[in-house]
Every structure is written in structure tokens, then in C-alpha cells.
Amino acid sequence: MIERAVDEDGKLTLTLHVNGRSRRVKARAHHTLLQVLRDNLQLFGAREGCGVGMCGSCTVLLDEKPVSSCLLLAPLAEGKDILTIEGLASPGGELHAIQQAYIDHTAFQCSYCTPGFILTTWALLHEKPRATPEEAREYLSGNLCRCGSYVKIMEAVMDARDRLAGG
């Protein structure tokens, strides 16, 4: 355990590596990564849905693994590579094949859960480039879409798999 200095507001100074950039933020020790992303960095793509790690709307990639940013204390994310949905497109703004597949299949309704689904899809296809539909359903079952766009989400995921394999 390393002791850290806090300012008069009770805040720590943290250094987080977000979407390829090093960011310094001030946050209290109990603030979650989700709070820091939204409140300090104005990255609104990760969204709270349940606050207890059940819905996946706040998913970000931590060293290429999907995590619920609502459950991760921000200080524990120091030294890790954090990728949010805002960092998935190419630096020139070209959408990732997974994002394009979600658009092409209209794999969303209200779209609140969409960033979480896309990042979990990225992790799935990174781990298992030849994922079967059964594997994909299992892998994505920690992301909830209340609008129930699941049929089209699965179409987008399988299409993205094929596009990435082909490219």
C-alpha cells in the first residue's frame, strides 16, 4: 500500500492513460473510473446503468480486457491502458469495423448500451477471432440491452467477425 497525498478538497492527483493519452485528474479515493471519465474527462460514452456491474453499459477496456468502470476505483486504473468507446475509431476518425457493423445492422434502439456492447464485442473478437454465435452470446451476456435489440446485435457481431477476418 502506497500512501498518497491529498489536497485540501480531499482529492488525489491521478495519472490515467486514456485512449493513448496521459491525463492528470483530481479525484477522491472512492471515485470510480466511470465518475472520472464522465465528470473529469467529459467522456460520456461509458454510462452507468446499474452501478453494480450487472448491465455492462459502463464497459471500458483495461489492458484490452472489458471491465465495468462503475466498479473500478479510479486510483486502481493508474498504470493501465484504458480504452473507451471514444478511442476506438482511427485517429483520423474512421470508424472501427465493429462500429460500422452495428450501424449497418441498426443493432441498437435507444443506443445507451451500445458503447458497452461494441467494446465487449471488440474484446470477444480480440480473444476469439473465430467466435461462434454460441460463444458470442455467452461472452456478451454481461451486457444488457433493455430495448431488446439482441437479434440485430448478434447479426452485427457475426458480420464484424467476418469483416475483421477478411481484412
Partner 1 sequence: MRAIGSPVADTRFVGRRVPPSEGQQRTSGRLKFAIDHSVPGMLHARVLRSTAAHARITRLDASTAERMPGVIGILTGADLLRGGIKPTYGPVLPDRPLVAIDKVRFAGEPVAVVVADDVDTADEAVRLIDVEYELLPVYVDPEAATAPGAVLIHDTVRRRELITYPDLILNTDAGPNIFNHFKLRKGDVDAGFRQADRVFEHTYRTPQQQHVSLEPHVAICEIRDGRATVWSSASSPFTARFQVAETLRLPQSRVRVVTWHIGGAFGGKTYPRIEPLIAAVSWRVGGRPVRLEFSRAEEFYTIARHSSVVSIRTGVRHDGTLVARQVRILWGAGAYADISPRTIKNGGWAAIGPYCVPNAWIDSYAVYTNTTPAGGFRGYGVPQVCWAYERQMDEIASALGLDPLELRLRNVVHEGDSFSTGQTMRDVHVEDLLRSVAQRIGWQRPLPAPSHARAVRGRGIATTVKGTVTPSTSTASIKLNEDGSVNLLVSTTDIGQGSRTVLAQIAADALDVPLESISVAYPDTDLTPWDQTTSSSRSTAMMGGAVRTAAESVRRQLVEIASRLLEVGAADLNIENGSVSVSGAPARRLRYAELIRQSRSGNILGHGTHATEGGLDPETGQGIASHHFAQSACAAEVEVDLDTGRVHVADLAMAAYAGKVVHPTYAELQVEGNAAFGIGQALMEEMVFDGGQVANANLGEYMIPSLLDVPPRVEVDLLEDRSGDGQIHGLGEGGAPVVPPAIANAVSAACGAAIDTLPITPERVLRAVRGL
Residues binding partner 1 (CB under 8 A): 28, 38, 43-52, 54-55, 57, 84-86, 88-89, 95, 99-100, 102-103, 105-106, 108-115, 118, 133, 137-138, 140-154
- Taking the C-alpha atoms of residue 165 and residue 61, their distance in angstroms, rounded to an integer, is 21
First CA to last CA across the chain, in angstroms?
Answer: 45
In the bound complex, what is the minimum distance in angstroms from residue 109's beta carbon to partner 1? Answer: 3
Question: Which of 17, 53 has the CB closer to partner 1?
Answer: 53
Residue 149, beta-bridge partner list: none
In the bound complex, what is the minimum distance in angstroms from residue 3's beta carbon to partner 1? Answer: 21
In the bound complex, what is the minimum distance in angstroms from residue 4's beta carbon to partner 1? Answer: 18
- Taking the C-alpha atoms of residue 3 and residue 167, their distance in angstroms, rounded to an integer, is 48
Question: Which of 43, 72 has the CB closer to partner 1?
Answer: 43
- Taking the C-alpha atoms of residue 137 and residue 9, their distance in angstroms, rounded to an integer, is 45
Question: Which of 2, 61 has the CB closer to partner 1?
Answer: 61
Angle, helix 114-127 to helix 97-104, in steps of 10 degrees: 130
In the bound complex, what is the minimum distance in angstroms from residue 69's beta carbon to partner 1? Answer: 12
Nearest-CA neighbor of 69 among 79, 78, 57, 80? 57
Question: Which of 2, 8 has the CB closer to partner 1?
Answer: 8
In the bound complex, what is the minimum distance in angstroms from residue 67's beta carbon to partner 1? Answer: 16
C-alpha pair distances (Å), 44 with each of 38, 87, 157, 158: 5, 12, 23, 27
Per-residue cell: 105: 445492422
Question: Which of 13, 132 has the CB closer to partner 1?
Answer: 132
